[in-house]
Structure 1
Amino acid sequence: MIIGMNPYFMFNGNGIEAMRFYEETFNAEVIEFKTYAELPNAQEGDEQLLLHANLKIGGNDIMLSDTDPDHPIEAGTHISVALVTDDADQTSDIYRKIREHDGEEVMPLQETFFIPAYGKVKDKYGIEWQLMTTKED
């Protein structure tokens, strides 16, 4: 079952600055904050890059991240939609359907160290979807 859908803002190295700005400007609550330094293959300087943040603004969530420094964002790709399910099979099915209808794989759907299923796909209309399955508690 789909359990959430949020805008996901991408930045070229100033994600932490943007997160702090939105936190102060909108009196947002920081629900989650991780830097690239938390990745298994972290390098020096990765603590300055935002891996993932979730902010609550009123009753709404937004997510933010710096992009991989080797793959800077281009205009039009700085906002994507994060779709969260509680079923990896459903996530896979959605990913497959987008691909089968002239979609483009951005990142393969796969299990990661932080979540059972995560991948990115751009639909035929140019919208990038970050599809993910939550961990069971």
Structure 2
Amino acid sequence: MSIHLNPYLNFDGTTKEAVYFYEKALGGQVVGIMLFGDMPEDPEHPVTDDIKDRVMHAHLKVGDSDIMFSDTFPGMPYQAGGDAVQIALHPQEESRAKEIFSALEEGGQVLMPLQKTDWSPLYGIVRDKFGITFQINVPEKP
């Protein structure tokens, strides 16, 4: 049996900014962005002007992994970030780990600077400007 998991991140109107930020920071490629206003009109469920430019679904490919995104509807409860779920990234090269960490810390907060640990030659934790926490972990070479 095969299974594939991917994070699905929700934002309150900042999804487009977040997708392009992560595309650059993580070296990914935007596969697609669909706005609520791109959907066919349905008189039963009209899309109001305050929703048309919000992202219904976005897909970012990072290496062999996928990150998906969506905006909430205006007025829906939304809580940014939190530490219940964190995203762990495992770049093979220390130089790439430093680039990613540096990009994610711009406008964010370093929770643990990149450093050598018992399990990794370079490990650190950063919360980005959107409130998402990332663990950057370079695997030990065998």
* TM-score, structure 1 as length reference: 0.49
Q: Which has the higher strand share?
A: 1
Structure with higher RCO (Cα < 8 A, 6+ apart): 1
The structure whose Rg is larger is: 2
* TM-score, structure 2 as length reference: 0.47
